[in-house]
Structure 1
Amino acid sequence: MESTPPEEVYIDEFDPKEHQGCYIFTLDGEEDRPTKRRKTKGKQRATEKAAVEEEKCLFPVLLDGKETESTLKLRYRTYCKLWEAQEKRTKAILDSFNSKTLGDVSAFVKDAAPEKFEGKIPTALVLAGPNIASHELLFEQLAQRIRNQDRTGPVVVLTSKDATSLKTTLRKLIRDATQQDEGVDDEEDIARKVGGVDEDPQRSSLLTRSQSTKLLNYDLQILQTWCRSHAGQKVTIAIQDSEAFDSNVLSDLITLFGSYLDRIPFVLLVGIATSVEIFHDKLPKSTIRLMRGNKFDVERAEECLAQIFNDSITSDKAVLRLGASVCDFLLERYRDHTQSIQTFVGALKYAYMSHFYANPLSIILGFIDNPDGLGEVLSTEHVEAIRNVPSFRRYVEGKLAAKEVGEVRKLLADDNYVRHTVAEKILESRNYGIELGQALAFLEIGRSCTLAQNKTPRYELYAKALSGELQTGPSIREFLMSLKRMSSTALLNLLENVMQEVPIPAITEPLKPLQEKIKKLVEEAAASGGKKTLISEFDITNNTLRGTAVSKKVRLGEQKSSLTKQDTEYSALVQQVYAIAESYLTVNFNSSQHGLQNVLLHEIFFYDLRSPHSAVFAPKPRSTIERGLSRPQDYLDCSCCTSGDGEEVGIRGTQPPASIIYQLYLESGALINIYDLWSAFYSVIAGDEEEFDAQTAQALFYRSLAEMRFLGFVKHTKKKTDHIAKLAWKGI
């Protein structure tokens, strides 16, 4: 059998776009040709685009259809404004993430040359960690940095799905490398083309030889020709997931790079999720000898998640925050399923959209900086919706318990007074979130300094603080107990971090004098020739092996008597620091007095609806499909499939054909006779009509049966030729 010859190309006729198609899409019914527009500048086009998007409001009308058009557009503009600000800050965090690694790898690529590496392939081993989801972002940032900012040459990112064989890998490598400068000509090249003269004789001879050279599309000589016409450019090959690569393909690829290194300046970036030793064991020693370079460590993805979470949820810049249940759901999904920063950011954006999409009171978030203008926007329907909010009801009940009857009467009867009250209380509602974030920052810094091995990030403490579990949990108790046992060096380090990271008067003003006193005690101890580190009397350890209570008391008394005067004074200062920290944390995390349920209108500032996220980000397709086939009226909203009182009536001919087949399918056994199924289907769909078109019914039957097979409910069986096998049972 004659084999098909491999695909061949001519170098001078190589067109990277020849495989791409061009399509023209025209909408039906559009006969009028749009008017031509005058070309405008970039800023004008951006302004026009923003105006069009602003006019196109995608939110529904709420308040039972009584929401005005102005408040509807205001709600949409507020969503766009707040998310745009949050997205800008998040993008800045993502761009700055791995900045040290990006700078080190970029400098390595700039200085890479075979002469500096003993004629070997310059290789950067990027230890990206086990979080595979974050590797794509890292290598995308590396490619943009090397290609756009450093301009050292093309960057080709290879993944395991691109490397099914050596030929496939080389095709992608050559195509991507030669296309990255597509459409860009140097001014000197343009001048030579126009003048018809090429001043480079080597290049002229190369092009002359290439006109008659026939090469395969996976031959590296194509890339070699490109490199000769782009002198000084390096070809950077980034292998994103080396563990998933076929070892033979990867070994052959590196061997080819080594053989062409004197003609093509390759630089290799290898992403490693495990360790360098495992990477070495995967490749032959002969392949390992072809590479020389350095290894670079990457920051953990959890640190990037912590930065994004702190900025979007607990910082003073955040306006809309997540509730406890939604926060737990997103973090649990991140840890157990996705481990992707981009997925978490997408879920955060969905929370913003869901809050503004379905909550008419979300327009209040647009008046944080100007609460005086809120009264003009809130209509009578908005005021009535505010009165139905659970936090407003608790607020009125609290006033009633305090016997402020006049205040209660105004809140329930006077709309203008409600508008005035809301305008006064929105700043207090937002300040609750800010104060909570500051308290969490203080607790996180304290635990990191006292419990370095048991460090808990802020996003782990946030949901517990909102639900009231943090006060009764071990996190605060462990921190306070460790605080009393801290040495002077550790305590001064803690106080310095608190002054820098949490600059709030409630905690810095009482701690600042104590910090100065501790520094003075340390200086006095060092000046008197004593020890430079003071210890607390609470840090006395019990080293005796005797277990009686009397012996332990004797040992503790001996250790206390060995404390110096400075140690005793330092112990008193530690006790004061302990009292300040305990009071501050108790006030901010006391759920009964300072809990979220006591904050007026917290439903507007905290989004805590878990069901929309569960339905979108953790869908249940099987139960949804089964419900759609067994109860089509739930989705079609039709009255023909239910009785007059709204109860189900079983199988009807008015239901969709696939639904009829599925309900008959549920009543059958493991093997289904196709003729019996057809007879039952025809009797249902024909009903009482004696002259029902059998061909139409048969076409609907075969189409519905094909849909059932496509959904995986049935398959053909060899046991009986006229039967089909049942593959799934409802609810199992």
Structure 2
Amino acid sequence: MAATVSVSKGVFAFKRRKGKNRKNVDGPSTRDYWTEGDDAEIKGLTYKNYVRCWQKVTDILNDLQDSIHAKVFQDLVEFIRDAGMRSNIMIDGIKSKEGQSDIPTACLVTGVNMPDHDAIFGSLVRLLVDGVTPHIAKLQSRDCNTVRGAIFKMISQLMGQNGFVDPEFEDEIITGPSIKRAQFTMAVLTSWYKEIISAEDTRESTSKSHGSPRKRAGCSHKDMGSPYKPVGSPYKPVGSPRKTMGSPRKPMGSPRMPKGSPRKPMGFQSRDMKSVKDFGSPEKRMRLNDEPRLPRGGYHPPLVVILEDVENFPANVLHDLILICSEHRCNLPIVFVFGVATTSNAVHRSLSQDASACVAMETFQAQPSTHYLNHVIEKVLMTEKVPFHIGGRPFKLLLDIFLYSDLSVKNFVKGLKLCMMEHFLGNSSTFLCCSAPERALRIRAMTPAQLDIIRKLPSFRSYVENRPPKEQAVLLLDEKVTKSTVRTLMTELDSWYLRFCCLVKVVSALTSSLPHSPLGRQIREVLATCLSRPLVESEEFKEAQKMLKLMAREELLPILANILEILKEQSGQDEELSELYNELAIMLGRLNSLDQLDQVIKDSPADEAQLSFQSSDRFHLKEKLLEMAKKKSKKPNAYESLRSELLQVLVNTFEQHLQLLNKQPLHEVLFFDSSSVVKRHLVGMPRAALTTALSNPHHYLQVSYLIQLDVFTIIQITIDLIRRYTPMLARSNVERLLPADDHIFTYEEYSRADS
């Protein structure tokens, strides 16, 4: 009988160690799935374009993720570094009289965007590991339902992260026979940290004696011995730490000392202090112990504990965790980082008075998710670096999901990735959706089959139909002319979209400060309007235009200066934008040169000659005066004339360039403008899904047998399901499919039958 087979024939599971490599079973890759079927060469090009395009988006998002929170991360890192220095001073020379001390706590208010917390704290952890400390523990509420579980997660991450524990023994430390789960206590963590500090000090003293530069890199597991071996204190399971409020708490695992005996200073293990005799008398030792000083062993990294969603933690778990860490504050430089979605007051409301008194909290406000989304739209969707662009309908759908569902930029990016996959996977013409230099090479090497794909595009066919008859035949038959035309049209499409995005920023700068904001205050709202319909024809722009005609000179000057700054960035890449920039710059100079007093245009003599009245009755005189009042308009001053001229120039520019993308030839190559496919994947529609499952089971089951069956056979098979879900279906449509002798039971009939 095998060693693991008991009398009851039980089944025993063994967890495989991470050190052993499992044999990977080769299966179909993503490229194989993408390129299966006909036109494998074209599908291979589209897959290559998709991978490169998404890689560009990923690089932009990574840079943006670090830069958008750069200021608050810099303040957080500085706060944790200063807290670590103060902790070193306290551990090396100072102890509070009660054995407790306030824990430095950073409260990071991230806003209501819970799915994005992982990305934010992931960036923070990378910054802390690079510049402050490698000892970091990330706790989440779903893993910390009890105090014992929270302590275990915290200690295991602090002791086993970033190379301080050999990966081959990581499983043994957590679940192996050497240490049980209950034996992860604060006493073990204290002993482990003392070994880390002593090993680091020994290595630094050795390096200094040999004249090498001082290094503060983390020590390896060989220098600190076995991390899971008990040092100086027995292993004891963590009991319930809750006690009566106000009762004194003793440090866990600290050795008892007889009364009246002097305490050993925390800096006793320094390399410059070898024995108790070096300190002199007890009075001298106490005097030295009371003086604040920097740690002689150098800067020791703090232990950072990050609670990502502190509001979801059970109140008793958070309360006891803070009190336990506060008791060992004199031996361990613990620093808390609380991730809060609402306000910092939520933390104090969930804590008792004694727990709140143990944390010294400082609040840091992160940028809201809406601010982050604006940067994502501007850097990803409104740039020429990414060849893929999105149309009005899918963009409006993703924006509505973000604003009215979860406020998650992470989910917005996932939706954008879905749009990109549908664009490249379902459109063969996307083999030209790449960078401009590579596109020129592919156009030059286009095969007749690839040319036919381009010729069949609806926008290219419309372009050919609008050309003269002689050019139509050449475009359809001559490959060289077709390639040259495609190259020209793609270049013009890139220039048009660059101009389009720049003018969208101009419209946002022009109308964002208007009362009631007809076009919206954010650039994302203006972009959604411009992608959905012509801007000049929209009611929102007409309302904004009326307000702009009443704008004062002091309000118009800063707006015009901001518009010039936007145009200056793109004026060197587009001739039409350069002309618009020069024209607006001249108008700005004319506005600045106007006098403070209005220059009223004098009435002409011909108009004055018409102001003559003839004798008539009162009724005719009143009608005449009203008619003359309608004909006579107020003469504008110099500023009003210049303002009208400026607005007319901008309106003409918007009317010419801010048109719908379906009017641009070959827009199908670069733009994805189908929202139905994305909506089916992102927005749940249970009733439509249920109807599809009952009427066409093959759509979800993917069983080839169901394809061969007709509708009546499928209805007979699923008759019970149809009867049960009749209230959710159109009863008349189902009755037409059922046999004449069958009957559909409604929900009311089922209820009466059950009663």
Task: Give the TM-score normalised by structure 2.
Answer: 0.65
User: Which residue is equivalent to 2:574?
Assistant: none
User: Which residue is equivalent to 1:105?
Assistant: 76
User: Which residue is equivalent to 1:446?
Assistant: 510
8 Å contact from structure 2 (residues 306, 338) kept in 1: yes
Gap change, CA 1:182 and 1:622, over 3 Å in 2: farther
User: Which residue is equivalent to 1:508?
Assistant: 581
1:165 aligns with 2:228: no
8 Å contact from structure 1 (residues 642, 648) kept in 2: no
Which has the higher mean CA deviation after the structures are superposed, 115-124 or 494-503?
A: 115-124
1:601 aligns with 2:666: yes
Paired residue type of 1:648: V
Summarize deviations over 1:588-623 as a string: whole Å, max 9, x none. 23xxxx432221111111112223323333355786
> How far, CA to CA, are the matches of 2:675 and 2:320 in structure 1?
50
After TM superposition, list the pairs within 5 Å mapping 1:277-316 onto structure 2.
Answer: 277-316=345-384
2:675 to 601, 610, 613: 610
1:59 aligns with 2:34: yes
What secondary structure, in the 3-state scheme, does the structure 2 residue paired with 1:518 have?
helix
Following superposition, the deviation at residue 328 of structure 1 comes to 1.6
Following superposition, the deviation at residue 172 of structure 1 comes to 0.7
User: Which residue is equivalent to 1:123?
Assistant: 105
1:577 aligns with 2:646: yes
Following superposition, the deviation at residue 484 of structure 1 comes to 3.8
> How far, CA to CA, are the matches of 2:657 and 2:456 in structure 1?
28
Following superposition, the deviation at residue 669 of structure 1 comes to 11
Summarize deviations over 1:527-583 as a string: whole Å, max 9, x none. xxx9xxx9999xxxxxxxxxxxxxxxxxxxxxx99xxxxx95444443333222222
Following superposition, the deviation at residue 138 of structure 1 comes to 2.0
> How far, CA to CA, are the matches of 1:104 and 1:168 in structure 2?
31
1:433 aligns with 2:497: yes
Matched residue count: 567
Following superposition, the deviation at residue 322 of structure 1 comes to 0.5
> How far, CA to CA, are the matches of 1:468 and 1:427 in structure 2?
23
1:364 aligns with 2:385: no
User: Which residue is equivalent to 1:391?
Assistant: 459
2:407 to 335, 339, 344: 339
Summarize deviations over 1:257-309 as a string: whole Å, max 9, x none. 22221121121222222223343333223322222232111111111111111
Following superposition, the deviation at residue 449 of structure 1 comes to 4.1
Extract unaligned runs of 5+ from structure 2: 1-14, 167-195, 210-223, 242-250, 256-265, 271-296, 572-577, 602-633, 727-750
What secondary structure, in the 3-state scheme, does the structure 2 residue paired with 1:210 have?
coil
> How far, CA to CA, are the matches of 2:117 and 2:703 in structure 1?
49
8 Å contact from structure 1 (residues 135, 240) kept in 2: yes
1:495 to 546, 560, 575: 560
Following superposition, the deviation at residue 101 of structure 1 comes to 0.8
What secondary structure, in the 3-state scheme, does the structure 1 residue paired with 2:445 have?
coil
User: Which residue is equivalent to 1:239?
Assistant: 307
Which has the higher mean CA deviation after the structures are superposed, 617-626 or 102-111?
A: 617-626
User: Which residue is equivalent to 1:705?
Assistant: none
> How far, CA to CA, are the matches of 2:428 and 2:529 in structure 1?
29
User: Which residue is equivalent to 1:557?
Assistant: none
Following superposition, the deviation at residue 108 of structure 1 comes to 0.8
> How far, CA to CA, are the matches of 2:371 and 2:514 in structure 1?
19
Following superposition, the deviation at residue 184 of structure 1 comes to 7.0
Gap change, CA 1:342 and 1:223, over 3 Å in 2: farther
Summarize deviations over 1:31-67 as a string: whole Å, max 9, x none. xxxxxxxxxxxxxxxxxxxxx999x5553267xx3x3
8 Å contact from structure 1 (residues 641, 649) kept in 2: no
User: What is the root-mean-square deviation of aligned Cα atoms in Å?
Assistant: 4.5
User: Which residue is equivalent to 1:422?
Assistant: 486
User: Which residue is equivalent to 2:320?
Assistant: 252
Following superposition, the deviation at residue 666 of structure 1 comes to 4.1
Following superposition, the deviation at residue 207 of structure 1 comes to 12
Gap change, CA 1:307 and 1:282, over 3 Å in 2: same
Following superposition, the deviation at residue 470 of structure 1 comes to 3.2
8 Å contact from structure 2 (residues 73, 124) kept in 1: yes
What secondary structure, in the 3-state scheme, does the structure 2 residue paired with 1:271 have?
strand
1:132 aligns with 2:123: no
Following superposition, the deviation at residue 22 of structure 1 comes to 6.1
8 Å contact from structure 1 (residues 465, 471) kept in 2: no
2:398 to 312, 326, 330: 330
Which has the higher mean CA deviation after the structures are superposed, 450-459 or 86-95?
A: 450-459
Looking at both structures, which has the greater relative contact order when contacts are Cα pairs under 8 Å and sequence separation is at least 6? 2
1:210 aligns with 2:283: no
> How far, CA to CA, are the matches of 2:498 and 2:300 in structure 1?
53
What secondary structure, in the 3-state scheme, does the structure 2 residue paired with 1:123 have?
strand
8 Å contact from structure 1 (residues 396, 411) kept in 2: yes
User: Which residue is equivalent to 1:587?
Assistant: 656
Paired residue type of 1:495: L
Paired residue type of 2:582: E
Following superposition, the deviation at residue 382 of structure 1 comes to 2.4
1:81 to 52, 64, 86: 52
Gap change, CA 1:162 and 1:472, over 3 Å in 2: same
Gap change, CA 1:28 and 1:392, over 3 Å in 2: closer
> How far, CA to CA, are the matches of 1:287 and 1:632 in structure 2?
58
After TM superposition, list the pairs within 5 Å mapping 1:657-668 onto structure 2.
Answer: 660=717, 662-666=718-722
User: Which residue is equivalent to 2:626?
Assistant: none
Following superposition, the deviation at residue 447 of structure 1 comes to 2.4
What secondary structure, in the 3-state scheme, does the structure 2 residue paired with 1:263 have?
coil
Extract unaligned runs of 5+ from structure 1: 1-17, 31-51, 538-559, 562-566, 653-658, 671-718, 720-724, 726-732
> How far, CA to CA, are the matches of 1:467 and 1:536 in structure 2?
43
User: Which residue is equivalent to 1:712?
Assistant: none
What secondary structure, in the 3-state scheme, does the structure 2 residue paired with 1:427 have?
helix
Following superposition, the deviation at residue 238 of structure 1 comes to 1.9
What secondary structure, in the 3-state scheme, does the structure 2 residue paired with 1:502 have?
helix
> How far, CA to CA, are the matches of 2:557 and 2:700 in structure 1?
64
> How far, CA to CA, are the matches of 1:125 and 1:392 in structure 2?
57
Which has the higher mean CA deviation after the structures are superposed, 618-627 or 494-503?
A: 618-627
What secondary structure, in the 3-state scheme, does the structure 2 residue paired with 1:366 have?
coil
Summarize deviations over 1:685-707 as a string: whole Å, max 9, x none. xxxxxxxxxxxxxxxxxxxxxxx
Gap change, CA 1:535 and 1:388, over 3 Å in 2: farther
Paired residue type of 1:216: P
Following superposition, the deviation at residue 370 of structure 1 comes to 5.6
Gap change, CA 1:407 and 1:669, over 3 Å in 2: closer
Task: Give the TM-score normalised by structure 1.
Answer: 0.67
> How far, CA to CA, are the matches of 1:465 and 1:207 in structure 2?
63
Paired residue type of 1:502: L
8 Å contact from structure 1 (residues 75, 356) kept in 2: yes
Paired residue type of 1:392: F
Following superposition, the deviation at residue 91 of structure 1 comes to 1.6
1:151 to 114, 132, 157: 132
> How far, CA to CA, are the matches of 1:386 and 1:161 in structure 2?
53
Paired residue type of 2:34: F
Paired residue type of 1:99: A
Summarize deviations over 1:10-31 as a string: whole Å, max 9, x none. xxxxxxxx9966666446899x
> How far, CA to CA, are the matches of 2:337 and 2:508 in structure 1?
36
8 Å contact from structure 2 (residues 496, 657) kept in 1: no
> How far, CA to CA, are the matches of 1:535 and 1:259 in structure 2?
79
What secondary structure, in the 3-state scheme, does the structure 1 residue paired with 2:713 have?
coil
Q: Max radius of gyration: which structure?
A: 2
What secondary structure, in the 3-state scheme, does the structure 1 residue paired with 2:385 have?
coil
Following superposition, the deviation at residue 166 of structure 1 comes to 1.2
User: Which residue is equivalent to 1:411?
Assistant: 475
Gap change, CA 1:572 and 1:241, over 3 Å in 2: same
Paired residue type of 1:95: D
8 Å contact from structure 1 (residues 334, 340) kept in 2: yes
